[in-house]
Amino acid sequence: MTKHLLRLVWNRKRSNFLITVEIVLSFLVLFLVMSLAVSYGRNYVQPLGFQYDQVWRVDVGMGVEGDDEWTPEMKATSDQVLLALKAYDQIEAVAGVQVAPFSIGGIRSNMHTNGRDIEHDANEVTDDFATVMHIDLIRGRWFQRDDDAAGFEPVVINQRMARALFGDAEPIGQDLGPWREDGLARRVVGVVSEYREDGLFQAPDNYLFYRKKTGTAKDRPPQSFVIRLRPGTPAAFEAELQEKLGAVARGWTFDIQSLEAAKEQTERMIIQPVVIAGLVAGFLILMVGLGLTGVLWQNVTQRTGEIGLRRANGATARGVCLQILGELTLVTTAGLAIGSAIVIQLFVIGASSWIDRKVFAGSLAASIALIYLLTILCGLYPSLLATRIHPAEALHYE
């Protein structure tokens, strides 16, 4: 039976080729949307690692183009801004940070230690950052003033990075090698459960915090400040804060935004392309479905004589229906084989490394199942039409 179906498919190779191309394109678009949706959905339910309610971010514009273009005077002014923020009764805690939460993009680095190359995100923060963001510290401690006199550079890493670097060994007290030109070794003093600065759609990754000192020109000024407001602080406080900061740092600009608003803005930026891709995929699949139905309908009409003769030779209506669906299944299988080979090859060479194996396998299986379901649904009505062809029609068909 399969050999006979293959022969029938090959005899109509031109029309079947077009159907195969449509199936391959639909599968690729569907797999992309499916993998993004599954990845984002899986990330969304995982812990964020910090609390953003009642927290504002104050992005600072110092009038320089790069992060490293700063002077000791700028650092002193930045410290004055920090002191001015701490003086407000409405502010419960304040900290400086190089990359504020929900900024989209940050510091990506590579570390070679213990014979391993570990990629990770990094950030520079002042001592009160954990207090402002309510970060979940699960081992060791956070940065403190006593670290000024330490003979090493204290760092805090997340649990994922601790496992990547040290496995099941104790990470506290481990040295990671020098960071600055002074040659001081980086030493792990604390481990946090998680920290995803770009929000809930960001995949959990390795993360490392450096300590940003105040009262010294050694460290670059923070690019942003995060402040935790006391409950009941009115929105009008923002205007007062803008005026005060403008007086402390003349010529600088300050963009104040709540982290809740920044989170919504970030999520819209991330999810909009997925929604657009989903609409494109839905439209493409709809067009493919209509095209399949039309092509199959035309094939059934053109094969009236063939199908009538089969019925005259004793073929049942069920047999004719299964023949039409069987031919369509073979064509679909060929298209899915090509599409699957493409996405698997991309995954092997690392072009789709942004999704892990489980998401890749699940998205691949779901996409294949949906394409099979689509083609079978599109082939049901034309195959039912084929069963209604009476043997006598074959005698009158030219």
pLDDT band at 334 (very low <50, low <70, confident <90, very high): confident
Domain assignment present for residue 26? The answer is yes
Same domain, 7 and 115: no
pLDDT at 30: 87
Percent of the chain at pLDDT > 70 equals 77
Q: Which residue has the tokens 């999704």?
A: 355
Q: What is the pTM of this model?
A: 0.77
Same domain, 96 and 10: no
Domain assignment present for residue 205? The answer is yes
Same domain, 30 and 114: no
What are the φ and ψ backbone dihedral angles of 237, each rounded to 5 degrees? Answer: -65, -25
Same domain, 71 and 192: yes
Same domain, 84 and 192: yes
pLDDT at 389: 56
Which residues neighbour 79 within 8 Å (Cβ) at sequence distance 6 or greater?
Answer: 214, 215
The answer to whether the CB of 56 falls within 8 A of the CB of 250 is no
Domain final residue pick, 251, 282, 299: 251
Whole-Å CA distances, 304 to 60, 270, 301, 396: 75, 52, 5, 10
Task: Count the Cβ atoms, other than its own, within 10 Å of residue 168.
Answer: 6
Range from 95-104, 175-184, 222-231, 379-388 carrying the lowest mean pLDDT: 379-388
Q: Which domain holds residue 127?
A: 63-251
**pLDDT at residue 311 tops 70:** no
pLDDT at 5: 47
Same domain, 301 and 238: no
Distance CA 120, CA 99 (A): 14
Q: What angle do CA 246, 247, 253 make, to 5 degrees?
A: 15
Which of 195, 197, 209 has the alpha carbon at shortest distance from 147?
209
Same domain, 299 and 347: yes
Same domain, 336 and 203: no
Same domain, 134 and 30: no
Range from 210-219, 247-256, 346-355 carrying the lowest mean pLDDT: 346-355
**pLDDT at residue 119 tops 60:** yes
pLDDT band at 15 (very low <50, low <70, confident <90, very high): low
pLDDT at 138: 94
Token representation of residue 5:
């179906």
- Which has more pLDDT, 354 or 240? 240
Domain assignment present for residue 246? The answer is yes
Domain final residue pick, 223, 251, 279: 251
Domain assignment present for residue 260? The answer is no
**pLDDT at residue 129 tops 90:** yes
pLDDT at 381: 65
Same domain, 247 and 386: no
pLDDT at 162: 93
Domain assignment present for residue 333? The answer is yes
**pLDDT at residue 386 tops 80:** no
Domain assignment present for residue 173? The answer is yes
Domains of the chain: total: 2
Task: Quick: pLDDT tens for 231-281.
Answer: 989 888 999 999 999 999 888 999 999 999 999 998 888 888 888 888 887
Which of 108, 104, 101, 109 has the alpha carbon at shortest distance from 125?
101
Most confident of 124-133, 262-271, 278-287, 295-304: 124-133
pLDDT at 180: 63
**pLDDT at residue 387 tops 60:** no
Ramachandran region, residue 161 (left: φ > 0; alpha: ψ -120 to 50; beta: rest): alpha
**pLDDT at residue 96 tops 80:** yes
Identify any residues that bridge with 229 across adjacent strands, giving them in sequence order: 91
The answer to whether the CB of 70 falls within 8 A of the CB of 82 is no
**pLDDT at residue 131 tops 90:** yes
Mean pLDDT of 370-379: 83
Domain assignment present for residue 207? The answer is yes
What 310-319 contacts at long range (C-beta under 8 Å, 24+ apart), as own/partner pairs, is: 311/389, 311/390, 311/391, 311/394, 312/391, 312/394, 317/387, 317/388, 318/387
Whole-Å CA distances, 353 to 350, 357, 369, 373: 5, 9, 23, 28
pLDDT at 375: 81
**pLDDT at residue 67 tops 90:** no
Domain final residue pick, 200, 219, 251: 251
The DSSP letter of residue 109 is E
Task: Quick: pLDDT tens for 17-50.
Answer: 777 878 888 888 889 888 888 888 888 888 899 9
Same domain, 318 and 181: no
Mean per-residue pLDDT of the chain = 81
Domain assignment present for residue 213? The answer is yes
Same domain, 240 and 319: no
